[in-house]
Amino acid sequence: MYKRTLTLLLILSLLCGCSGGSSAPNSSNEGPQPESAVVRLALNDSGHILSAIADKQGYYAEEGITVEYVHVNSDTEAFEGIRSGKIDIASNSGTNLPLQMISEGMDLTIFGGYLLTGCMPVFARVDTEWVGIQDLVGKTMACEPNLYAVSGPLLDMGYDPLKDVTWMPFETQEERIEAVKNGTADFGLVGTALNSAVIDDPELKIVTYAADILPGYSCCRAEALNSWIAANPTTLKALLKAWIRALAYYDAHHEETVQMVMELIHKDEDYVRSYLDNPRFELNTDPMKNAIERAWNYMSALGLLDSEAEKIDIHDHINTTLYKAALDECQEQYGTENPKFYEQLQAQYARSDLD
C-alpha cells in the first residue's frame, strides 16, 4: 500500500535483473496476434519477479510480445507516464495509489496483479505487550494512516483510526525503525524489504504482520488506461498469460527462485529467505476484485479519496474478463504441467472476482 512502504516492498519483491525487454517475439500460439508487439511497463528501482521469469523462460516471446521497462523515480512519475502515453502499464504501485488516481478522475482500470501481500511487520520494543491491533489505540504508530491493512480493521472494530491513533509519517522507513527504538513511537510498520532488519535487531520484536491483520489486503495491482486496454485486449491477454506461466514456475521452483534472487540482489540466503520462505509473501496475478472493492470502501470511509469519489462506481474500473480468458487458455495449453496450480487459480478467481 502506501507509497514508501511499497517502494521498499517492491525492491524486495524481487528484483528484475533483466534489461528492458525480452527477446524478439515469436509466438507459437494460434489465434489472434497481439495488437502491440511491445508493452511498456513502469519500474522504479525495484523488480518484477514474474516479468524476470517470463523473460528468462521465454514466455514473453512465446506469447508474441516483448516488455520494455520504463524506469521511473516514483509512483507519481509512473502514473504521469501512463497519462502522457509514455508508459502502458503500472504494476508496482500498490492498490491505494491507483485507487486515489481513479478517485481524482484518471480513467484507469485494474486488470491483474503482481503482489497480493508482503512481509510487512508491525513491530515494537522487546518489552512491549501485544494482544491485538486494539493495542494501537491511544498509542503512536510510525507510518501513515493510509495503510488500510491496519486502519481499516480498526475502523471495523468501531474505532476512529485517525483520532484514536497518533500516526507519524517519516521520510524513510529506516526512520520509523529508529523512532520506535528511541521511544518517539510506540509501534511502527515497514515494508518487506526491512523485514529482516527488524528481525535481526535485538531491541525490537515483530508483534504481527499486516497480512495477519487483514488477510489478502491487496498490495500491487496492475493497471492501465481504459483506452489502452480497449485498443490492446489481445496484447494484454498475452502479457497476463506470460505472468501466469511465470507464477506457475515460481510455484514449482522455490529453491531455484531463492538462488535467482540471491544472485540478482547480491544478498545472502538468510536475507532472501526471511521473506521468500514466509507464507505471507504472496505473488498473485489475479485482479482480486473483492479485495480492491474492500480497499476502496476503507479509503472512502477514512476520507482518503477525492471528494468526487462518491460519484464513481469502482466496478467500472476493474476488468476481470481478460484475466479469466488468459487463465483459461493457460490451463488448456499448459495445465498438464501443474494441474493443481491451475485448479487453485480457478478456485481463487471464483472466490475473489465473482459476485
Local confidence pLDDT in tens for the 355 residues of the chain: 433 333 333 333 333 333 334 344 555 566 788 988 999 999 875 568 898 889 889 999 999 999 999 998 888 899 999 999 999 999 988 898 999 999 999 999 999 999 999 889 999 999 999 999 999 999 999 998 888 999 999 999 999 999 999 999 998 889 999 999 999 999 999 988 788 899 999 999 999 999 999 999 999 999 999 999 999 999 999 999 999 999 999 999 988 878 877 775 667 888 878 888 889 999 999 999 999 999 999 999 999 999 889 999 999 999 999 999 999 999 999 999 999 999 999 999 999 998 7
Residue 35 confidence (pLDDT):
87
- From 51, 50, 53, 21, select the one nearest 38 (Cα to Cα): 21
Residue 52 confidence (pLDDT):
84
What ranges do the domains of the chain cover? 3-117+219-352, 121-213
Residue 17 confidence (pLDDT):
33
Domain 121-213 grouped into CATH 3.40.190.10: yes
H-type alpha helices, the chain = 3-12, 49-56, 59-63, 75-84, 96-103, 148-156, 161-164, 173-181, 195-200, 210-213, 226-231, 233-252, 254-265, 269-276, 289-301, 321-334, 339-352
Span 3-117+219-352 CATH architecture: 3-Layer(aba) Sandwich (3.40)
Q: Quick check: do 3-117+219-352 and 121-213 share a fold?
A: yes
* DSSP at 318: B
Helix (H, G, I), strand (E, B) or coil at 153: helix
Written as nine digits, the cell of 147 is 495503510
Written as nine digits, the cell of 57 is 523462460
Residue 58 confidence (pLDDT):
95
